Amino acid sequence: MEKLIQQIKQGKVWPFAGGIHPPGQKSLSNANPITRLPLPDKLVVPLKQHIGANGQLIVEKGQTVLKGQALTKPVANWSVPVHAPTSGIITDICQMPSAHPSALPELSIIITPDGKDCWCELIPHVSFADLSHDELINIIHNSGISGMGGAGFPTYIKADSRKPIEFLIVNAVECEPYITADDVLMREHAAQIVSGIKIMQQLLCPTLTIIGIEDNKPEAIEAMKLAAKDDESIVVQTVPTVYPSGGERQLIQLLTDKEVPSGGIPADIGVLVHNVGTLYAIEQAVIEGKPLIERVVTVTGNTIHNAGNVWALLGSEIKHLLDCQGFSPVPQQRVVMGGPMMGFTLPTVRIGVIKTTNCILAPDHNELAEPGPEQACIRCSACADACPASLLPQQLQWFAKSKEYDKLKEYNLFDCIECGACAYVCPSEIPLVQYYRVAKVEIKEQQAEKVKAERAKERFELRKERLEREQEARQNRHKRKPAITKSADEKQKVADALARVKSSDEKSDNKSAVAAAIARAKAKKNSGELEPDNSEVAKERAARKEQARAYKAQKEAGSSTDETTEDKKSAVAAAIARAKAKKAAKADEATPSEKSPVDDKKAAVAAAIARAKAKKAAKVEEASATEQPPADDKKAAVAAAIARAKAKKAAKADEAKASLEVIAAAEPEQIQDSAPLSAEDKKKAAVAAAIVRAKAKKAAKADEAKASLEVTAAGEPEQIQDSAPLSAEDKKKAAVAAVAAAIARAKAKKAAKADEAKASLEVTAAGEPEQIQDSAPLSAEDKKKAAVAAAIARAKAKKAAKADEAKASLEVTAVGEPEQIQDSAPLSAEDKKKAAVAKAIARAKAKKTQQEGSDKS
C-alpha cells in the first residue's frame, strides 16, 4: 500500500490492455474560453436525466418558476431532482423525445423563459467544513447532481459510500476525441474543482486523491497542479493519450494498478471515480448553493463555424447550441451527442441538453467517414488487440451473429464497455459494438423472460400449495369443531330434544310406517324404473348394510336401556344415541340430530323397519317393497332409519364435519322451534334432520357443499314453523318425513358417488320440505304424493350419482316430476302444482348453490 502510494506519487502509471489512438481533433474547440449562450426561447427539461428513477413532479402547467427552483423532488431510490434553469413560465408538461440513443419520449417540463433570469433564494455554505456528512449529502442530492462524465449515476449515492475509500480518482482524462469540455473547465475553474475535491474528501476520507489528465491537455494539467499544490493528498497524474483511458475501469487500472472485479463497482476495491464536471457542480451546490442547472458543452465539428465550449442551460435545445455557434449542415448530416467513439446520433435537434451532455458533434463527411459496407471477418484480431477489457471481440461477433448466448456469456460479453475500439480498428468495418448491444439486449430479454417464467411457476406452485393447505386447514377445522360442539352443547341439545319429544303426546300414526314402506317401494322403483345402474344398486346395498349394522347397534342399545318405557321411545332414543356414538367413533363427525324418538310403537316400528332394511340389503334390494309395518309408529321407525342413515354417512366420509357443524347449528333451532308445537313437529324435525343429514353427506364428499348446506339449513326451520299450526295431518307429515328421510338417504348415496351431486341433493332436500308442507293439509292421498316425491328425489339422486353433470338431468326430472305426481295422486290437484312449484324453486336454488360451490372451489 505504502509502496503503491509511493509509486503513484512518483508518477507511475500502469497501462491497460489494448486501446487505440484515434485523431484527437481537440484543437478545434479548446482554443477559446467558455462562452455563455443567450437565453433560449424555450427550455425542455426532462424529469429524468440520470440513471435511476425520476423525481416527483412538484410544479404544474402555467406556474411561474424562478431560476434554480426545484421542479421535482426525489422520491424513490436513486432519484434526483431537476431544477428550473432560468426563471419563466411552465408552458407545458408533456412527453418529449429524450436525449438517449432511442430518443424515446420522456416526460419533460417545458419552460418559456421570462428573460429576467431571476434566481430563487440560494443557501450558500462557504465553510463547508462545518457541515455534517448528512447535510453535505443532502445538499448534493437536492442540488440534482448526477455524474456528468456520461453515465449520469446519482452522485449522492457515490458520495455516501459505505465502503472505505482508499483512492478518490478525479477523471479529467477526457479521452474521447473532439471533446474539450473538461479541459477548458479545468483551465478556467481549477480552484473550484479542487474545492469540490475537498468536499468529496471530507465525505469519503480517502488516503489519496489522484487527478488523472491525459498528456494532451498541458494547460489543464498546469492549472490543476497549481490549484492543488498546497494539498499533499492530491496528486495530479499525467496519463498517456490512449482511448479509452477515461473509461472508469481503465482509469482505475491506469492510476492504481487495480482491477474492478467483473460485475463489481469501484468501491469494492476502495476506489471512487468522479468526473471533474461533477466536482465543479458539487462545489457550486455546496459553496454557492446553486443547483445543477447548466453545464459546459463542447460544440464542435467541421460544420460548426465557431466550434468551442459553451455554458448551456440544461434543457436548451441542441438547435439553440448549433445556431449560436453557427452551423451549416451537409447532406445527410449527423449530429452526435457525445464523442465520436461512444456518442449517439440524434434523430432531431429539438432535444434538450441534459446533465450528461458533454459534447455536440456535427461532423462533415471528411472528418468522420460514413461507415462502409460490412465485409467478411478475416480473424485478424485487430479488435482483440484494441480491446481495453482483453475480450475477444472477433469471437464475440461470431457468437452474436449466430445467437449463441451461452457462448457470449462464457466469453464475457457483459464486460464489454462498448468503447468502440474494436469497431474502430476493424478492417472489415464490422459494426461490432452494434452486434454486442443487440446481443446484450437479447440476452437480458431472455433472462427477464426466464425470470418471468420462473416467477409464474413459483406463483403457480405456491397457489397449489396454498389451496392444498387451505383444504387441509378446512378439514382440520371441521374435524376439530364437531368434537367440541358435540361434547358440550350438542349433547345437551340432543338430550333436550329427546325430552321434549317424549313429553309430547304420542300419536300413533301409521303414516310414518306407510311412509317407510313407500320409501322402500320407491327404492325399488328407482332401481327398476329409473335407469337400473349396478353401481347405484351396489351403493344402495352398501348403504343398507350400514343401516343394518346401525340397527343392530340400536337393538343392543334398546335391550339394555329403558326400563320404564311402556313406550319404546326412550329405547329408540338410546339406539339413536348409540348410533351417533358409533358415527362419532368411526368418524369424528357424529351428527347430532336426535329429535326422532316418538312413541313406543314408533320405536318398535323403527326397529322393524331397520331390520327389514337389513334383510333387504342382505337379499335383494328391491325385495322389501311389500313390507308395510303398522301404521302408527312408523314415524319413529323413520326417525330411527334416519338416524342410522346419518350414522352411515358419518362413517363413510370424514369430511362430513363441516356440514355437520352446519347441521348441528341448524338443528337445535329447529328443535326449539318445533318444541312448543305438538306431535307433528317431531316429524318435521325428522324431516329437517333428514335434510340436514343429507347435507352432511354432501358435505362429507365435497367441501364446497357447505354453501349450499347453509342455504338448506336456513330454509328448513321456517318450513317447519309454517307447518306447525297444522294438527291432525301430522301423520301424513310424518309419512312425508319418512319419505324425506328416504330421500335423504338417496341423497347420501348420490353424494357418495358423485361429488357434484351435492347441488342436486340440495335441490331435493330443499324442495321436499315444502312439498311436505303443501301436502300436509291433505288427507291420505298425500302419502302417495309424498312417496312419489321421494321416489322422484331418489331418482334424481341416482341420476346425479351417475353423471357428474347431474344438474342438467335434474332439471329434466324436476320438470318431469310434477306430472308424475299428478299421475300418482289424482287427488288435490292444487298441491301437486304447489309441489311442482316448490320443486322448481328448489332446483333453482340448487343450481345457484352449485354455482356458488363451484365458484368457491
DSSP codes, 710-763: HHHHHHHHHHHHHHTT--TTHHHHHHHHHHHHHHHHHHHHHHHH-TTHHHHHHH
Alpha carbon distance, N-terminus to C-terminus of the chain: 68
Residue with Cβ nearer another protein (382 or 572): 382
Residue with Cβ nearer another protein (14 or 78): 14
**Is residue 644 part of the contact set for another protein (CB under 8 A)?**
no
**Is residue 381 part of the contact set for another protein (CB under 8 A)?**
yes
Sequence letter at residue 564 = T
Q: Could you give the count of Cα atoms lying within 13 Å of 603 in the half-sphere of its Cβ?
A: 27
> What is the separation of C-alpha 34 from the centre of its chain, rounded to a whole number of angstroms?
54
**Residue in 391, 557, 687, 696 binding another protein, rule: CB under 8 A:** 391
**Residue in 108, 395, 526, 596 binding another protein, rule: CB under 8 A:** 395
**Is residue 426 part of the contact set for another protein (CB under 8 A)?**
yes
Residue pair 260/273 in contact by the 8 Å Cβ criterion: no
Residue with Cβ nearer another protein (432 or 743): 432
For 436-575, list the strands marked E by DSSP: none
Q: Which residues contact 646 (CB under 8 A, 6 or more apart)?
A: 579, 580, 583, 591, 593, 689, 693, 696
Minimal distance in Å, beta carbon 152 to another protein?
Answer: 17
**Cα–Cα distance, 197 to 213 (Å, whole number):** 15
**Is residue 378 part of the contact set for another protein (CB under 8 A)?**
yes
Here's the x/- map for another protein, 621-640, by CB under 8 A: it reads as: --------------------
Instruction: Point out which span in 140-148, 377-385, 489-497, 506-514 binds another protein (CB under 8 A).
Output: 377-385
Residue with Cβ nearer another protein (219 or 323): 323
Q: Which of residues 4-23 bind another protein (CB under 8 A)?
A: 16-17, 20, 22-23
Among left, alpha and beta (phi > 0; psi -120 to 50; other), residue 488 is alpha
Here's the x/- map for another protein, 226-265, by CB under 8 A: it reads as: -----------------------x---x----xxxxxxx-
Q: Which of residues 681-710 bind another protein (CB under 8 A)?
A: none
Residue with Cβ nearer another protein (361 or 742): 361
345 backbone dihedrals φ, ψ, rounded to 5°: -75, 145
Q: Could you give the count of Cα atoms lying within 13 Å of 572 in the half-sphere of its Cβ?
A: 36
Could you give the C-alpha distances from 404 to 325, 398, 413, 438, in angstroms and in order?
A: 47, 9, 11, 13
Is 465 buried (19+), middle (13-18) or exposed (0-12) by CB count in 10 A? exposed
In which residue are the cell numbers 498528456 written? 215
What are 707's strand-pairing partners?
A: none
> What is the separation of C-alpha 695 from the centre of its chain, rounded to a whole number of angstroms?
36
**Is residue 750 part of the contact set for another protein (CB under 8 A)?**
no
**Is residue 394 part of the contact set for another protein (CB under 8 A)?**
yes
**Cα–Cα distance, 263 to 260 (Å, whole number):** 8
Sequence letter at residue 330 = V
**Cα–Cα distance, 699 to 706 (Å, whole number):** 6
**Is residue 571 part of the contact set for another protein (CB under 8 A)?**
no
Sequence letter at residue 105 = P
Minimal distance in Å, beta carbon 258 to another protein?
Answer: 8
**Is residue 437 part of the contact set for another protein (CB under 8 A)?**
yes
**Size of the residue set binding another protein (CB under 8 A):** 74
Residue with Cβ nearer another protein (135 or 429): 429
**Residue in 90, 341, 720, 800 binding another protein, rule: CB under 8 A:** 341
**Residue in 181, 286, 433, 687 binding another protein, rule: CB under 8 A:** 433
Contacts 24+ apart (CB under 8 A), 553-562: 553/578, 553/579, 553/582, 554/578, 554/579, 554/606, 554/607, 554/610, 554/640, 554/643, 554/644, 555/607, 555/610, 558/603, 558/607
Element spanning 312, H or E: strand 308-313
Minimal distance in Å, beta carbon 298 to another protein?
Answer: 15
Minimal distance in Å, beta carbon 265 to another protein?
Answer: 11
Torsion of CA 419, 423, 424, 426, to 10 degrees: 150
**Residue in 78, 119, 311, 344 binding another protein, rule: CB under 8 A:** 344
Instruction: Point out which span in 1-9, 36-44, 422-430, 671-679 binds another protein (CB under 8 A).
Output: 422-430
Residue with Cβ nearer another protein (168 or 335): 335
**Is residue 105 part of the contact set for another protein (CB under 8 A)?**
no
Residue with Cβ nearer another protein (345 or 535): 345
Sheet holding 167-171, edge to edge: 234-239, 208-214, 167-171, 271-275
**Is residue 388 part of the contact set for another protein (CB under 8 A)?**
yes
**Is residue 392 part of the contact set for another protein (CB under 8 A)?**
yes
Q: Which three cell numbers mark 805?
A: 353433470
Minimal distance in Å, beta carbon 239 to another protein?
Answer: 17
Instruction: Point out which span in 426-434, 648-656, 746-754, 762-770 binds another protein (CB under 8 A).
Output: 426-434
Residue with Cβ nearer another protein (260 or 603): 260
Provide the 10 A C-beta neighbour count for residue 48: 21
Minimal distance in Å, beta carbon 386 to another protein?
Answer: 9
What are 45's strand-pairing partners?
A: 109
Instruction: Point out which span in 362-370, 463-471, 632-640, 756-764 binds another protein (CB under 8 A).
Output: 362-370
Q: Which residues contact 134 (CB under 8 A, 6 or more apart)?
A: none
What are 235's strand-pairing partners?
A: 210
Instruction: Point out which span in 61-69, 209-217, 416-424, 653-661 binds another protein (CB under 8 A).
Output: 416-424
DSSP 8-state secondary structure symbol assigned to residue 298: E
**Residue in 105, 124, 371, 725 binding another protein, rule: CB under 8 A:** 371
In which residue are the cell numbers 341433493 written? 761
My answer on whether omega of the bond before 725 falls inside 30° of 0, hence cis, is no
**Is residue 345 part of the contact set for another protein (CB under 8 A)?**
yes
**Cα–Cα distance, 601 to 636 (Å, whole number):** 8
**Residue in 35, 138, 328, 348 binding another protein, rule: CB under 8 A:** 348
Q: Which of residues 153-182 bind another protein (CB under 8 A)?
A: 177
Element spanning 467, H or E: helix 432-485
Q: Which of residues 832-851 bind another protein (CB under 8 A)?
A: none
Minimal distance in Å, beta carbon 373 to another protein?
Answer: 7
**Cα–Cα distance, 494 to 670 (Å, whole number):** 12
Q: Which of residues 315-334 bind another protein (CB under 8 A)?
A: 329, 332-334
**Is residue 369 part of the contact set for another protein (CB under 8 A)?**
yes
Residue with Cβ nearer another protein (241 or 412): 412
Instruction: Point out which span in 37-45, 410-418, 562-570, 583-591 binds another protein (CB under 8 A).
Output: 410-418
**Is residue 299 part of the contact set for another protein (CB under 8 A)?**
no
Residue with Cβ nearer another protein (60 or 263): 263
